[in-house]
Structure 1
Amino acid sequence: MNESAFVAALKALADTPAARGLEDDAAVLSVGGQQLVLTHDTLVEGVHVRADEDLADVAWKLVAVNLSDLAAKGARPLGVLVSHMLGDSDARFIEGLREILGEYDVALLGGDTVRAEGRRVWGCTAVGKATHTPAPDRRGARAGDAVFVTGTLGYAMLGLGDRASGSRADLAYRRPRPLVAEGIALAPHVTAMMDVSDGLLLDAWRLAHASGVELALDSTQVPVADPQKAGECMRWGDDYQLLFTAPADAALPVAAARVGTVTGGPPGLSLDGDIFPDAEGLGYRH
């Protein structure tokens, strides 16, 4: 089964409202009058990180991608649980973990350690508290809304081949910075929001289908790191910027580029007038 088919099969099991139909970045669980936000991500050596990546960078990225999911829900991080596959450079993993937990003031709550043969795998579960009720959802975009994205897309793609230089691109790949403060600021203003992890086009398609609307994007308005590779910048992913919809006249507290409009057409994505009926070729999928 490919990733999409497997997730579709899981939806029959995820029948609690907290799971949001597996259509969102995270689960949102109401407890004692508050909303807890929970998310989990896995990194695989040679897939999500380079096979010879410094484990300090692996640890940073592992936590960062989970905090990015919390950011998309406007959640304030409370803590993480981390699983680590023992091997070479374990001390470097701890060092990177110490750095990102300190940078974002996040508690280490627990986790697991294992040892096995083959590619190394790391997992992280992040827990946060929603700062706005309801927590932003992928399912709230409405016809007439504007589509926005923060930051510039494609730096992580360029950073894959710009190793250890300390450039903006290199750091975007090795040490992404989740937009936690920005997500919290945006939460009261957006109608739908998610982070861009698998490419702008694929993630926009997902948001459109979750909301039952069409997102009509204008490629000339999308900020990209390399205009000569604009298509790749919109498809490659690993950006961890925030993609969101909001009323066109909303006074946004965070700088963002308007890249399109939500229409009442059939659910899906259009780019410069070209309609994409399915997600094939739009971004990274397993």
Structure 2
Amino acid sequence: MPSEFDLIRQYFTRPTPSAILGVGDDAALLRVSPGMELAVSVDMLVAGRHFGEADGPGTVGHKSLAVNLSDMAAMGAVPRWATLAVALPAADEKWLRGFAGGFFGLAGKFGVELIGGDTTRGPLNICVQIMGEVPAGQALRRDGAKPGDEIWVSGTLGNAALALAHYQRRVELEHMEAAAMLPFLHLPQPRVAAGIALRGIATAAIDISDGLLADLGHILEQSGVGAEIHFENLPLHEVMRRYIGPLSPSSLPLAGAPARGVPAGIGGKAAQSGEKRDADSLREVQVVAQNCVLAGGDDYELCFAAPADRHETILDLARKLELPLTCIGRMTDTAGLRLLRAGEIMEVSAKGFDHFAA
């Protein structure tokens, strides 16, 4: 049976050329580059809450670092170093080998050095702390949005949540649809390059981990502004569009509203008398898909505000990054968030992921 220190040496010790002292002592020693500020974040992933028994160790390793890298992206920081604490029910070397492969595969892509950590016996959970550098005074924060700023998001929304809904049998995706959605859940791609490029452009930013409504709400609260966003402007994957269906007010129910009828165009069928059960089922699926987009969480895209006169600059940036950046609304001087669909105010029941919700 390998000891704790054997496991650390074998699976978690890598060269750390930018650290003064890395793995192997009581603490690491770092030197921040001149003119830089240190950005620090930490995230915990718990088995049964953030990943399941069916998730491979490589995907868990990837995701444990990716969610932290997403925080660096939201700050406009260059990720540099990480620490890792892992609790394991047993010293499973096969699992550790796979986990380390996923973790260090992503770490190498972004130049992150693992400089320390801890292991212990217990229910499986993983805690990663990440540190990055950002030029002094240039960090993207949540508290800088102004009325009139445009609201933007990267990528597409709700994909990971739709994949999870498929796992939970709340929707039934076709095989090819599930294959397209599952990587968004298991292998999120942090938008580090976008965050760095948005320095000096974005007035506020956040990564979408708990859902668009919840995370945009943090910007509104800390910036002291309101927002108006348009559902039809939200960037959606083609699979998501199939399940949400047409976006006119008469065709898509409010989240949490009773399901009545079926919209023409969903699956090529119009509502017929005697088909209420199928109609209600389709409406329920539409509501699930809508809530995945607005409040599903695990997107790890960026939501940011920027002055309207930087609109073309951001579109140019999207082309350079080869990453969709979509304007979905604007900041207002009226408190609260107004969500519009085809000019009409939407009411939604879902607000975002809450770790302590009943």
Identical residues among aligned pairs (%)? 34
- Structure 1 residues 280 and 43: alpha-carbon distance in aligned structure 2, compared to 1, 3 A threshold: farther
Counterpart of 2:290, as a letter, is A
SS at match of 1:249: helix
Is structure 2 residue 296 aligned with structure 1 residue 236?
A: yes
Partner of 1:76: 78
After superposing the two structures, state which structure 1 stretch, 178-187 or 30-39, moved more: 30-39
Note the aligned Cα RMSD (angstroms): 2.4
Q: Does 1:198 align with 2:210?
A: yes
Matches within 5 A, 1:212-227: 212-225=224-237, 226-227=240-241
- What is the aligned length? 252
- Which residue in 1 is equivalent to 2:184? 172
TM-score, with length taken from structure 2: 0.66
Distance in 1 of aligned mates of 2:33 and 2:225: 31
Q: 1:155 aligns with which of 154, 159, 165?
A: 159
Equivalent pair of 2:35/2:136 in contact (CA under 8 Å): no
Q: Secondary structure at the match of 1:51?
A: coil
CA deviations on 1:22-72 (whole Å, 9 max, x unpaired) are xxxxxxxx9964211000000011111123321111111010000000001
* Structure 1 unmatched runs, 5+: 1-29
> SS in structure 2 opposite 1:100?
helix
Residue of 221, 245, 254 corresponding to 2:305 = 245
**Alignment deviations for residues 166-196 of structure 1 (CA, whole Å, 9 cap, x no partner):** 9331111111010111110012200000110
The 1-side partners of 2:33 and 2:349 are apart by: 38
- Tell me if 1:182 matches 2:182: no
C-alpha separation between the residues in 1 aligned to 2:56 and 2:62?
Answer: 10
Higher helix share: 2
| 3-state SS of paired residue (2:302) | strand
Match of residue 271, structure 1, among 321, 335, 339 = 339
Specify the alignment match of 1:24 in structure 2: none
Structure 1 residue 114 corresponds to structure 2 residue 120: yes
| Residue in structure 1 matching 2:142, options 138, 145, 155 | 138
Q: Which amino acid aligns with 2:99?
A: F
SS in 2 for 1:37: strand
> 1:101 Cα deviation (Å)?
1.2
What's the offset of the Cα at 1:224? Answer: 2.1
Distance 1:247 1:57 in 2: 38
1:275 is displaced (CA, Å) by 8.4
| Distance in 1 (alpha carbons) for counterparts of 2:131 and 2:232 | 37
Counterpart CA distance in 2 for 1:185 and 1:132 is: 15
State the match for 1:126 in structure 2.
130
Alignment of 1:42-53 (within 5 A): 42-53=44-55
* Mapped contact 1:74–1:131 kept (Cα < 8 A): no
Which AA in structure 1 matches 2:189?
A: R
Per-residue deviation, 1:99:
1.1
Q: Distance in 2 between matches of 1:40 and 1:171?
A: 23
What TM-score, normalized by structure 1, do the two folds share?
A: 0.82
SS in 2 for 1:181: helix
The alpha carbon displacement at 1:131 in A equals 4.2
